Amino acid sequence: MGNRPDELRALLDSVAKQDGDRVEVVVVGNGSPVTGVPEGVRTVELPENLGIPGGRNAGIEAFGPSGAEMDILLFLDDDGLLAHHDTAELCRQAFAADPKLGIISFRIADPDTGETQRRHVPRLRAADPMRSSRVTTFLGGANAVRTKVFAEVGGLPDEFFYAHEETDLAWRALDAGWMIDYRSDMVLYHPTTAPSRHAVYHRMVARNRVWLARRNLPAPLVPVYLGVWLLLTLARRPSVPALKAWFGGFKEGWTTSPGPRRPMRWRTVWRLTRLGRPPVI
C-alpha cells in the first residue's frame, strides 16, 4: 500500500539474493503508486485498494492467466524478509519431488527473537513450529503455490477483502486432490504483530468465517463449524466493542452473498480429518 518503502526494498533485495535461477518479481500497488523498485521488477498499480485477495490476484494475472508464465508463485508480505538464500531453490526442489504438492506455507519468525507465533503455524498442534508437516491451510503472507492450482480451482476470493481467503483456496485445492506442506526451513522474517491491529479485524473475521462455511462445507457441517467458532470466540472473552463488531460481521455473513457455493466432497472432509484438522474447527 506504499507505506513501507524501506521494508519493501529490503524484501526485494532478499529475493534478488536467492540461489539458482533469477526470481521474476511483480509488486502490486493496492490503491497506491509503486515507486523506488529496482530495474526489472514488474509493477501493477490498482486504482483502489482491492484488499489482500484482490491485490494478490492482480499479481497472479501479471504473469499471464492464472500465472501461466510461471510454474510457481511466491507470495511475500512487503514488510517481510527472506531469511535464507536457498528458499526459492528449496521450493523448486519440493514441487519437483512431489507432483501432488500444490502449496507450501513458510515459517514466519520474528527477525529479532527468531520466535514463531503460535498463530503462524497452520495446524492445531502448533507447539513445535520447527516441525514440518502436511497441513490443511497456509499463511497468506509467506507461501508458494504451484500455478496449476490456480488454473484448476481459481484464485483467492476477491470478496473476502481480508481474513480467511487462504483457507478458502486451501479447501478448494485439497478438494481437487492437491496437498499442502508447512516447511519450517523456509523462513520469512516478519515483525511480531497482533492481527487485531487492523480496525476491521473482528468484523471481517466473523463475516468471512460464515462465508467460508457457506461456500465450501457440506450443508450439515455449516452449523457445526460456525457453532464451534462462536463458542471459541466467547471463550476468549473479547472486549465488548470487539464482540459487538464480531456479531455484526457474523450477521453480515448470513445476510450477504458469499459468492459461488461449491461444497467439498465428503471424502475431502475425511481427508482433512486424517490430516489433523476436521473442517468443524
Q: How confident is the model at residue 193 (pLDDT cuts 50, 70, 90)?
A: confident
Contact 54, 158 (CB under 8 A): yes
**By C-alpha distance, which of 231, 135, 238 is closest to 195?**
238
pLDDT in tens, 49-67: 999 999 999 999 999 999 9
Average per-residue pLDDT in the chain?
A: 96
Q: How confident is the model at residue 197 (pLDDT cuts 50, 70, 90)?
A: low
pLDDT (0 to 100) of residue 247: 96
Q: How confident is the model at residue 88 (pLDDT cuts 50, 70, 90)?
A: very high
Q: Is the pLDDT of residue 200 over 90?
A: no
pLDDT (0 to 100) of residue 158: 97
What cell was used for 239?
472486549
Please state the rounded mean pLDDT for residues 82-100.
Answer: 98
Handedness of CA 208, 210, 211, 216 (dihedral sign): positive
pLDDT in tens, 20-58: 999 999 999 999 999 999 999 999 999 999 999 999 999
**By C-alpha distance, which of 40, 92, 93, 41 is closest to 71?**
92
Q: Is the pLDDT of residue 10 over 80?
A: yes
Of the chain, the percentage scoring pLDDT greater than 70 comes to: 99
Q: Is the pLDDT of residue 18 over 70?
A: yes
Distance, CA of 227 to CA of 204 (rounded, Å):
17
Q: How confident is the model at residue 194 (pLDDT cuts 50, 70, 90)?
A: confident
**By C-alpha distance, which of 157, 147, 150 is closest to 51?**
157
Q: How confident is the model at residue 140 (pLDDT cuts 50, 70, 90)?
A: very high
Q: What is the pTM of this model?
A: 0.96
Distance, CA of 25 to CA of 32 (rounded, Å):
18
pLDDT in tens, 97-134: 999 999 999 999 999 999 999 999 999 999 999 999 99
Q: How confident is the model at residue 196 (pLDDT cuts 50, 70, 90)?
A: low
Q: Is the pLDDT of residue 210 over 60?
A: yes
pLDDT in tens, 158-171: 999 999 999 999 99
Distance, CA of 214 to CA of 222 (rounded, Å):
7
Distance, CA of 204 to CA of 247 (rounded, Å):
10
